Each structure stands twice: as C-alpha cells, then as structure tokens.
Chains A and B, each alone.
Chain A
Amino acid sequence: MAQIELDGITKRYDDLEAVSGLSTTVKDGELLCLLGPSGCGKSTTLRMIGGLEMPTEGTIKLDDEDITDVPPYNRDTSIVFQNWELFPHKSVRENVAFGLKMRDVDADERHETAEELLERVEMGGYGSYDPTDLSGGQKQRVALARSLAVDPSVLLLDEPLSNLDKRLREQMEIHLKQIHEEFDKTFIYVTHNQDEAFTLADRIGIMNDGQLVQVGDPMDVYQNPTNRFTEEFLGDTNFIEGKVSDSSDQPVVKTGFGASIPLSKNAGVDSGDTIDLSLRPEFLALSSPDDQQSTVTTDGGHAVTGTVEDVLYQGSTIRYSVSVSGEPLFVERHVGDRLELSTGDTVQLQWDTDDVLLFREDGTKLDV
C-alpha cells in the first residue's frame, strides 16, 4: 500500500504563489501524470511530496500517515530529477548504491543490488563508468536505478525525459511503463509533454498556474475537458468567439460567420455573454465545394465555406489554414488523404454541433 493524499497544499515564495491549494489522491500502484506548462508549479509540487520543499499550507499523507514535516531523508519517496543529478565524483555503481550506503547496507551487498538494478535498466556492465561519460539516455537509466535501489513506496519523476531527443524519449516511455508494471509502485510523473502523459498515465492531472485544473482518466480528460485551459493545452484547437443572443425563447450562441448553436434554457447565460467555441481540427470535415455529396448538411451540423490561406506540410500530416469570414481555422489531414488543395482554393468546412465545446468567459465549460 502506498497511497498519497495531498490536502490543500500551497507553496508561497515571498509574494509568488507557486502552488495553490492543491488536493488530490494518488492511488496505490497508480501512475499519475501531472501535466502542465512551464512554471505552473509541477516541480514544486513534486518536491513538496519528496520533502525537499516544505508546504506553506496543507498536509501530505502517505498511507494515512501525515508526512508533511518528515524530512526528505526519512521519507519513503525518491525523486528522479530532470537533470538526473548523478554524483559526478562517484562511479555509476556507487551512484546506484548510494541510498543503500546511507542505510548502512554493507558494501558487497549494496554493490550486488546496484548491479542487479543496472541490469534491469539495461545498463549492465556500466558499473565502473564515470557518470559524466554517459549519454543523456544512459544517465536517465542510472538515475532511475538509483531511485529504485532505495525501494521507495512512491517514485517521483520530474520530467526525466525532457532532455532526450524524440526517438529516445519514445523508447524510454515504453521502458518506464514496463518498469512501472514490474515494480508495482506508485509513480507520480511530472511533464509538460502531453504525448508523454497520454502514453504513460493511468490518470492525468492538468495543472495551470499553481492549480490542479482537472484530474481524470486520460481519455476522459481529453474528451471532456471541464475547462478552457485543458482544451487549449491538450490539443491544437480552433477557438472562435461567439455571443449569446436571447431573441427567441431559447438562447443561442452566434459566431462571426453565421453558424449558431442553440443552448438549453437553463444554461445560466445572459444575452450578450461572450462564449468561446472550440472546434477541434479532427472534427472538421474538409471538402471541395463542388464535391456534391459532402455539401449536404447533416442533422444538427454546420457547413461554412472558406478560402485556403496556407498549406503546411508536417511530415505525415498536412495542416490547412482556412479563412472563414476573416477567422482563421486550421484543419489537419493525412498526406494519404490526397486532398491536393492549394492556397486560394475555396473549400467547405463541416462539423457536428455535438462536437463543439463551449466555454464561458471564466474558462469553465458550458454544457449544451
């Protein structure tokens, strides 16, 4: 059992609030990803859980035991740091054995454990190396082994892959996932990379500006963002401004290019309120206006015409920027779709009302 419970933890530095009243529970054996932009307080949160930073307010519990005031060296947690922090004056083996040495395990035994763990992270045979001679990926593995060596209840990982190139990062994601399953420990993993979070996480916590905005199952968070920030951060999307108009008995949101979306009567909005619409590129159907079949507006859907402003090749996908009544919208298609549109072409964009997400001015989601 290793369950972490954060209750309203806050960290203030002078007049800066790095983390504001963060509460959540990380279940035993779970891999929770804290995902958020740079400077949102992810590292600070992790360091508070690890004991390297003392919360200004709030409590941290490990299996119902309050560990808020327990110093880092007595906590059953271990951090894998963003820049790994391997001890440069110790060999790889001594690095991995360090935690055991601090626990007074005798030299033979701890070196044996270190070698075993190095094998597990595919670094067998590197024991006598100097950490400064290793590549980024190798250092990352050693740092992981070093933390695993102390057999912590909770492993805290602070963007351990952010200094690696894309290919290596993807390899390491798989490796980490295996390690998580094999060691069956609670992992809290901090990252600003959403691909990483979606690959690894059992649950994702979205952080913004020191606050935990939304926590949930990755697919759920992606499909049902409760907040404009989540929607914006999780994927490239088109935000379009709309206004509530209440002329008839039912309020509707009207956009600059004529498309309007009906709202339920008790949506709690007033006439004149600004509402942001999110049109995700994956829900936008793109077709040439002369392609008769797709001009048919499906039930509850919308179709607008626009001009292709820009075509951007991004490897396997092509991104089209389409101007609709002056508003730029972007759409992505696979190269294989062979749309062969070029700048200046007139196209039609189509979407389902159900796929549009609406957000109030304060960022909260409006349910249609």
Chain B
Amino acid sequence: MFLLLVAPLVVLITTSFAGSTSFQFPPQELSLQWYVEFAQSQTWITAVKNSIIVGTGTIILSTTLSLLAAFGVRQSDVTWVARLVPVTLMPLFLPPVVLGVALLSFFGSYNLHQTYGSIIVAHALWATPISFLIIQSVMTQVNWGLQDAALDLGASPLKTKFEVIFPQIRQGLFASALIAFIISLQEFIMALFLSGQDTRTIPVLAWTAISQMLDPIVNVVSTLLITLVVVALVLSAFSIGLNRLARQL
C-alpha cells in the first residue's frame, strides 16, 4: 500500500534528474539539466512568483479571518454562535469546480477575475476553515488568566492580545500559516478558473505545459513542490507538537 503511494513519487523525482528529454524510467543518465532550464524560464519564474504572492495573500487573509472568528466565538455569550462553528467547514465539502465556477461568475461580473485577489479569496475559502480549527484548538490551551493580569495592569484589550495572548498561540499561528500556504500552493482547479496569463500559479502552468507536450520541467517543479510541502508539514507538525510539549512541562 505504502509502496503504491510512494512509487509514482520515486519515478517523478528520479526522472527530474534525467539527462534526456524522454520520460524514461529509470533514466539513462542523471543531470541537473532540467533544473537549470527551469531556473532560466521566465514563464516558470513568473508562476513561482505568482504562487508565492497568492500563497502569502492566502496566509494573511485566512489567518486574519480565523483569528477574528476564534476571538469572536470565545467572547460571544450566545450559544448558537458555538453551534455555527461546523458550518464554517462547508467550503471544504463543495466540489472545487462548483466553487471555481461560482467565483468566476462573481468576480467576472466585476471584472476582477484573473486578478491575484480573486485567487486569494478562493484559496482562503479553503484555508480559513482549516486554520480556524487549528487556531481554535490552540486557543483552548491559552491561559486566559494572563489576559486578566494584563488588563489589570493597564493593557488595553488590543494590547493584551499582542502582549500575552499572541505569544501563547505563536506556534499555532505558524502552523496554520504554513498549512494555508500549502493549500494555496497545491490548489489547481479554482486557480485554473480564476487565473489569467499573468497570474498563473505553478499548478496551472504545469497543467498547461503538460497538456501541450510532455515537459520535463514539470517533473522538476513537482519535485520542488513535494519537497516544499514535506518540509512545511514537518515544520508545522513540529511547531504544534512543541507547543503541546511546552505546555505539559
């Protein structure tokens, strides 16, 4: 089972180091030829830049929304607010095609499709519920007594958040930001609908490249993406884990 999962990855990664144009496995010779080509391709560099812009935007938007929501839910005395929390997960269960089309017609009517903003909103739709859940779980471990102490010593509610709550949820925020970035980085369908020539993200460009002809650069990009995702996941798992550990000591 595990082999089945890993096999395509192995093929992909090894072929990215291939010395020839063909998609042969195992490759005849190893080289960094395609990596060099990737680094020299203006289209690919733009796609990487786009992905980073969209990913960063997604982080900012989803983390801000999640933070506001988590504080809102905590401070609200109304019971139905807490019951509504699962509803925020809804975007995760809608087919991305449906979301993509819906957003396209929405943004299209304002002529805002093909902008970074539209892709960021789409990605935040997915990333926010997840980062909200992470932040909520981190908030259950916050010592709110410290908030009382800070208010008592003259810190305004906003300053209190920065001075004593934020340091307690830092790791959770970091993890949630990384996961938001990964979600944005790998999301393809909505980005395909909403991106234009200048705002293509990496998966969109890869798909375009592949559909025209088998481009070995795609292997390179995929390998880089996989590495990035694995590193990010390990980092975020580690930061949440450290957070737990620190609290239990």
Contacts and interface: CB of A to CB of B under 8 A. Distances in A.
A52 B153 contact: no
Q: Which of A52, A102, A147, A150 has the most chain B CB within a 10 Å cutoff? A: A102
Interface stretch (A73-81, A282-290, A352-360): A73-81
Contact of B154 (A47, A81, A99): A99
A146 B145 contact: no
B154 A85 contact: no
A83 interface: yes
B208 to A, nearest CB: 48
Contact of B145 (A71, A74, A85, A150): A85
A99 to B, nearest CB: 4
B153 A78 contact: yes
A103 interface: yes
Given A81-B145, A83-B145, A87-B164, A52 B151 contact: yes
A89 interface: yes
Interface residues of B, number: 18
Summarize B's interface: helix, strand, loop or mixed: helix
Contacts of B159: 102
Contacts of A88: 146
B221 to A, nearest CB: 40
B153 A102 contact: yes
Interface string A34-74: 00000000000001001110000000000000000001111
Interface string B140-184: 000101101111111111010001100110000000000000000
Contacts of B143: 85
A103 B154 CA distance: 7
Interface string A83-97: 101111100000000
A72 B151 CA distance: 6
A187 interface: no
B151 A81 contact: no
Report, nearest first, the 5 A-B pairs whose CB atoms are least far apart.
A99-B153, A85-B149, A102-B154, A89-B167, A72-B151
24 contacts: A47-B148, A51-B152, A72-B152, A73-B151, A73-B154, A74-B154, A78-B152, A79-B148, A79-B149, A81-B148, A81-B149, A83-B145, A85-B145, A85-B146, A85-B148, A87-B146, A87-B163, A89-B168, A102-B154, A102-B155, A102-B156, A103-B154, A147-B153, A150-B153
Interface of A: 47, 50-52, 71-74, 77-79, 81, 83, 85-89, 98-99, 102-103, 146-147, 150
